């Protein structure tokens, strides 16, 4: 067998495995638009480099028919690839968006480990679909006494309301509060010329474009604007602009 054929076989196997992994990542663990929000590209790049590029390339360099120790060399390459794949997938799985919580004026995307699931109503968890995050709305207590206790809790190092299910309500019960804080996309484009191109693309995709609204969503590294459809206020897209940054000059 030639070097080139060995490389192509290795590359084909690697591409099949990585492609299957990406299908699970993009369609099950990180449904649009959460892959970009969470910032999973850093780990995915490692998978691409190690499993799709480095592994086959090492086979191309080291392969020679009837070479002594060839089986050992190929075994080491396979172990490195499998280890990188296992590490990458486990990391991506742990960080997948499990809860999406609206709090005050923005959305927070949280992994399962970010919230004590023992405090989440069992019926909510039972109703959660495997490829869709669980949506909720976190509300500040109404009484001044409860608000004061919450402030003291937060100052003492306890999580804020978006990470505490005792302050959550079902998402469908609070869509009016979400709509009250949302900004129509047409208004946002007028306020932020740097977002106008992205907004226009989103408007062109929908018949009810004049009713689309946006709200900030906080990711691991950046904030974005998440686009909500008008009827149920569910996310349908993302505008990659930080709504809290000053408008770029010029």
Write out the residue range of the structural domain in which residue 249 sits: 182-250
**Which of residues 123, 154, 174 is at a domain's end?**
174
Using alpha carbons only, what angle is made at residue 94 by residues 134 and 77, rounded to the nearest 5 degrees? 145
pLDDT, position 170: 94
pLDDT in tens, 34-92: 988 988 787 788 888 888 888 888 888 888 777 788 888 888 888 988 988 898 899 89
- The angle, 0 to 180 degrees and rounded to 10, between the axes of the packed helices 3-24 and 55-62 is 170
Indicate if the alpha-carbon torsion angle 113, 119, 122, 128 is positive or negative: negative
pLDDT band at 220 (very low <50, low <70, confident <90, very high): confident
With a pLDDT cut of 70, the percent of the chain lying above it is: 99
- Mean pLDDT calculated for residue range 160-188: 94
Indicate if the alpha-carbon torsion angle 180, 169, 114, 125 is positive or negative: negative
215 in the same domain as 168: no
For the chain, the maximum distance between any two Cα atoms, rounded to a whole number of angstroms, is 79
108 in the same domain as 90: no
CA-CA distances (angstroms) from residue 154 to 53, 75, 116, 129? Answer: 46, 52, 16, 31
Using alpha carbons only, what angle is made at residue 110 by residues 100 and 35, rounded to the nearest 5 degrees? 80
With a pLDDT cut of 90, the percent of the chain lying above it is: 51
pLDDT, position 164: 95
pLDDT, position 249: 62
pLDDT, position 250: 56
pLDDT band at 29 (very low <50, low <70, confident <90, very high): very high
pLDDT in tens, 87-107: 889 989 999 999 999 999 999
Which of 13, 25, 3 shows the shortest CA–CA distance to 81? 13
109 in the same domain as 50: no
79 in the same domain as 27: yes
Domain count, the chain: 3
- Mean pLDDT calculated for residue range 151-165: 93
Bond before 33 cis per omega within 30 degrees:
yes
pLDDT at 187 over 80: yes
Q: Regarding predicted confidence, which is higher, 124 or 208?
A: 124
- Mean pLDDT calculated for residue range 150-161: 92
Residue partners of 106: CB distance under 8 A and separation at least 6: 215, 216, 217, 218, 223
235 in the same domain as 212: yes
Q: Regarding predicted confidence, which is higher, 56 or 248?
A: 56
58-62, 150-154, 171-175: least confidently modelled range:
58-62
**Which of residues 60, 94, 128 is at a domain's end?**
94
**Which of residues 94, 129, 144 is at a domain's end?**
94
Q: Regarding predicted confidence, which is higher, 180 or 62?
A: 180
pLDDT, position 32: 85
């Amino acid at each position: 067998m030639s070097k080139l054929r060995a490389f192509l076989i290795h590359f084909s196997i690697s591409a099949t495995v990585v492609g299957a992994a990406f299908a699970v990542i993009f369609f099950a663990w990180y449904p649009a638009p959460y892959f970009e929000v969470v910032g999973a590209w850093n780990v995915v790049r490692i998978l691409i480099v190690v499993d799709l590029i480095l592994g086959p390339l090492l086979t191309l360099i080291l392969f020679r028919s009837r070479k002594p120790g060839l089986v050992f060399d190929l075994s080491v390459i396979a172990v490195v690839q499998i280890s990188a794949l296992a590490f990458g997938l486990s990391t991506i799985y742990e960080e997948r968006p499990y809860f999406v919580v609206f709090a005050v004026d923005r959305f927070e995307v949280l992994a399962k480990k970010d919230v004590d699931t023992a405090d989440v109503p069992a019926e909510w968890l039972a109703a959660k679909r495997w490829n869709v995050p669980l949506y909720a709305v976190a509300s500040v207590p109404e009484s001044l006494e409860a608000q004061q206790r919450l402030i003291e809790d937060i100052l003492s190092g306890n999580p804020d309301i978006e990470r505490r299910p005792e302050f959550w309500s079902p998402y469908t019960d609070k869509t009016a509060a979400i709509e009250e804080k949302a900004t129509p996309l047409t208004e946002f484009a007028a306020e932020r010329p740097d977002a106008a191109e992205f907004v226009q693309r989103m408007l062109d995709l929908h018949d009810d474009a004049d009713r689309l609204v946006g709200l900030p969503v906080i990711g691991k590294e950046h904030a974005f604007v998440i686009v909500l459809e008008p009827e149920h206020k569910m996310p349908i897209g993302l505008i990659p602009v930080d709504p809290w940054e000053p408008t770029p000059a010029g």
